[in-house]
Structure 1
Amino acid sequence: MIVPVNLAQEIVDRMKEIINQDINYIDPNCIIIASTDRKRIGDFHGGAQVVLKKKGMVAITDENQFIGTRKGINLPVYFDDNIVGIIGITGKEEEVSKYGKIIQSMTEILIKEAFIKEQSKIERESKKQFIEEVLFRINDEDKETIRIRSELLNVKLDIPRVTLVARVQQVKKRKMIDTAVNNYHIYNFINRYIDYDQQNLLVQSGLNYIMILNMNTTNDLIGLVKKIYENLKHEYNLSICFGIGSESRDDAGIRQSFEEAKKSLMVSLLYKKRFYVSIFDLDLELVVNDLSEKAKYNYLFKVFKYLDEEQLSSYIEVLSTYFRNNGSIMKTADELFLHKNTLQYKLNKIKTVTGYDPRNTRDLVVLYLAVLIYKSEGAYKTFML
């Protein structure tokens, strides 16, 4: 293993905080690649040669004893029984020797931890690429490649699985979470609840977190979803919505379950008070999602043709909240922070510009379908072009 310069520098800086002595990290070529005394970085260290031959500690009692050395002690750093570097502590031998074994052991531990973390990152990225290939590839010509890769990654595709798609939002109408740091923490948070089985898979794709769970070991799927939802809100003040697909037993089934989970998620996002929706909960939503893009456009044009983008966005929010609260004026007004008379005015305005009255049962169905179509994947962008 080659220890990266940035890791070596991090190690010596941390070690100095503990013992308050200058520390060097020397690579197997006897070059100081990291030091708390920055002027020494890049220098040749003759004492390191002796450490490599002796495979043990070497004390420097005279600064002219070896090329590029100062008084102190130098010890080999091992990883998997191989010397990957030398750690040097500058100072009088009698003062620094007491730190030798401790600094040596801590350095080896930090290198091992960094290696494990890097391997975990590589494995995570490999699985992410594999899952994305399974979910998003268009043809079935490379089934053999998928099979081989699944075996190499120890991902079993022929076991009962359910795919969930989740999206995280901050509570109280704040901006959606999309920074790299937050995504990393959210990923690890969710992973804590599903890493009881190595066959449980988690990847992040855009704003969504995709979970592909082994149903042989997931005894209470809804209980698991509730636990993630409640604890994420408690610990981070974040809200999460889930879409749940049907059970699958091969790569084609996983893709179908994923598409179902995406449809379910869109409904969960529409009805924010329902933080999870299963494909089996859908009825009209299934019809909407199976419409062609042309049919969706024509329907939206029929209902919303006289609205500009700003008006449309405003009325969609009003209608979504109105539907979510089953037509309750009081609850809708409270959620939108409006006076009930202001809400009544907005509903009357929607009737005027669209020709459909949200308080009329038949017209309500027309508007409800329009909102579902508007919020379906890609429909909004197509309509606003």
Structure 2
Amino acid sequence: MNLTVRDILSLGGLRDASIVAGNGGVNNIVDSISVLEVADSNISKWVLKNELYITSFYAIHTNIEKQKEVIKVLHKSGGCGLVLCHIDMWIKDIDKEIIELCNTIDFPLIVANSEVSYVEILNPIIEKLMKINIDNFQLLLSTQNKLIEQVANKEELEDIFNNISSMFEQEILFLDLDNNCIFSKNTDKNTIKTVEDYLRLNFNTINSECDKFNYCIKNIGQKKKVLYPIKTIGKFYGFVVVGYEEERFEHTLRKIENIAKICTLIYTKKSRIQELEEINIQDYIGDLITWNFRSEEVALKAGLDINWDIVNKTRLMIININSIQENLSSKGVKDIQNYAKKVLYPTLSQEVKYSNPNNLIGFRSDVVFILLHSNNDKIKDKDKASSLGQRILKICNNDFIGSVSIGISNHMEEVTEIPKAYKEATSAAIMGRNLFGENRVVKYNELGFFPLLKDLKFNEDIRVIIDYLLAPLIDYDKVNGTDLIETLKNLLDNNMNISTVAKDMYLHKNTVLYRKNKIIEILNDNPFEMPYTLNYLLALMINSL
């Protein structure tokens, strides 16, 4: 006995539903049911034959062409029908073109009662399908009930895997996208390591084979294993791996398929929650540094809503990912951003929280933003900030091929001082990089007069003086392809020591001496004699800030 589209209209949440189009397909067989989350033509890769789909078309409720495209793909790929839910919320009226399309291809379009939930539609149909083929659907119903309960209770991923595995009699492993085992049952450590190493070594071959057949069977450690990918459109999450038993293979495969579906739902939900949390933190950081709040109370409440308690924070630390800022137009910047976000940032977060669980850390574009919790001792707070900055720098130097610049603000008394602290930390990171080089930890108070000098750079009178002092050398370098302005800077920085400058600039001492004399010849004054030296030091310094 097979379940048909006509039959499901008498079950649970579809009892008062109606077929508005595609009546010619009411005898289509229903083997399974699923929620359609993605409204895209790429769903053809995931559509199962004889599967009924439930959707609200919320993502494309105003796009009739997209709706038609999805229906065509579902029909062409073997889907047996489509149930539209929450019709009053998103799609107020079904367009005539949709009705005509479904009638033309005999694809059942069912409109559910707007007050009926997905679960009220899903569970009765799954129960009926189980009665028809208990072996195929026993696991799906049981795990789905547990999944709904566990996700609702926000239980840990390990607990969910444990409950799924308890319904599987043989060994089973769950691996993440890096081919690390995150949960296993009835499997020893040696077997786990053997499977991990095999997947890493043969990942491309396995992935290619799974793309063709949805799974593959491989000899791993002298035993056959079934490898089934956990994935959704455009995203790969890992593998489910179980032992191969020929006499029970079809039964096992059906179970793995259901487990993989459930894992995909879990990972997708977890991924979306994480993405939403990241966006909320990024938005909140943006509001903090501009103080986009009506009052301090509003700022504190907004922080608590995303589990950020900004009370009693003493300093602000900024980690600039220089490699991103310097390569914004480069094709490789995306790879740097992904590495910084997915590999470097988690390690930094662990270190920041280890220093003090109440510290706060967020990642925003090319900057890591850290609020350090107070120990109620200014000297101790300052020392701990410096120590943490050095440990972070060590992590970056060990784990990151690019460069970073770390800036630390002065002490904060109130949360309303966060915008000021952000400017201080940013100035310390950027100006510290210009003054002392990359991969340094710089505290704002170490900059001394330099922040004030930077402000002078945009003063019109100061610009006139700087141009008067430096323009002759800059113009000479442009015309003759020389490097006199850099030579002047190096000579002043090194107290006119010819040998040191020659070594730093990879030049012969006679060349440096020639350039020094040429500089004196071109300029109106001798920059190597006081008081002119001070003028040129200031001009070069302000110009570089």
What TM-score, normalized by structure 1, do the two folds share?
A: 0.68
Distance 2:457 2:471 in 1: 19
- 1:81-100 aligned at under 5 Å gives the runs 81=149, 95-100=249-254
User: Which residue of 115, 121, 124 maps to 1:53?
Assistant: 124
- 1:227-238 aligned at under 5 Å gives the runs 227-238=391-402
Q: CA deviation at 1:43?
A: 4.5
Distance 1:23 1:224 in 2: 56
3-state SS in 2 of match to 1:220: helix
Q: Which residue of 2 aligns with 1:373?
A: 542
Q: Which residue of 2 aligns with 1:65?
A: none
Q: CA deviation at 1:301?
A: 2.6
Distance 1:266 1:237 in 2: 19
Q: CA deviation at 1:7?
A: 11
- Residues 169-209 of structure 1: CA deviation (Å, up to 9, x unaligned): 45xxx99243233123223414422342464132335x544
3-state SS in 2 of match to 1:238: coil
Structure 1 residues 116, 82: CA separation in 2 closer, same or farther (over 3 Å shift)?
closer
- 1:260-339 aligned at under 5 Å gives the runs 260-270=424-434, 271-272=436-437, 275-291=440-456, 293-294=458-459, 295-306=461-472, 307-308=474-475, 311=478, 317-318=486-487, 328-339=497-508
2:403 matched to 1:253?
A: no
Distance 2:51 2:477 in 1: 60
2:326 matched to 1:176?
A: yes
1:44 partner letter: G
Q: CA deviation at 1:372?
A: 2.8
Q: Which residue of 1 aligns with 2:301?
A: 148
Distance 2:40 2:396 in 1: 32
3-state SS in 2 of match to 1:277: strand
Relative contact order higher in (CA < 8 Å, ≥ 6 apart): 1
Distance 2:39 2:358 in 1: 31
Distance 2:349 2:150 in 1: 36
Percent identity between the aligned chains? Answer: 14
3-state SS in 1 of match to 2:282: helix
2:126 partner letter: K
Is the 1:233–1:239 Cα contact (8 Å) retained in structure 2?
yes
348-357 or 128-137: bigger deviation:
348-357
- Residues 47-83 of structure 1: CA deviation (Å, up to 9, x unaligned): xx99742535947999xxxxxxxxx956457343499
Q: CA deviation at 1:243?
A: 1.9
- 1:190-229 aligned at under 5 Å gives the runs 190-195=345-350, 196=353, 197=357, 199-205=359-365, 207-216=366-375, 220-229=384-393
- 1:36-185 aligned at under 5 Å gives the runs 39-40=76-77, 43-44=80-81, 52-55=123-126, 58=129, 73=136, 75=140, 78=144, 79-81=147-149, 95-137=249-291, 143-169=296-322, 176-178=326-328, 179-185=333-339
Q: Cα RMSD (Å) of the superposition?
A: 4.9
1:283 partner letter: G
1:193 partner letter: L
143-152 or 254-263: bigger deviation:
143-152
Distance 1:113 1:211 in 2: 28
2:54 partner letter: P
- Residues 226-250 of structure 1: CA deviation (Å, up to 9, x unaligned): 2332332333322212222112143
Distance 1:232 1:177 in 2: 18
Distance 1:118 1:361 in 2: 64
Is the 1:163–1:211 Cα contact (8 Å) retained in structure 2?
yes
**What is the number of residues matched between the two proteins?**
345
1:268 partner letter: G
Distance 1:322 1:114 in 2: 60
Is the 1:303–1:354 Cα contact (8 Å) retained in structure 2?
yes
Is the 2:407–2:444 Cα contact (8 Å) retained in structure 1?
yes
Is the 2:358–2:373 Cα contact (8 Å) retained in structure 1?
no
- Residues 331-373 of structure 1: CA deviation (Å, up to 9, x unaligned): 5444444444444444444444444555446444333322332
2:77 partner letter: R
3-state SS in 1 of match to 2:289: helix
3-state SS in 2 of match to 1:4: coil
Structure 1 residues 109, 274: CA separation in 2 closer, same or farther (over 3 Å shift)?
closer
Q: Which residue of 2 aligns with 1:16?
A: none
- Residues 22-67 of structure 1: CA deviation (Å, up to 9, x unaligned): 8897643599x89xx9941654289xx99742535947999xxxxx
- Residues 246-287 of structure 1: CA deviation (Å, up to 9, x unaligned): 121433322222222222223321221671221221223143
3-state SS in 2 of match to 1:165: strand
Which of structures 1 and 2 has the bigger CA Rg?
2
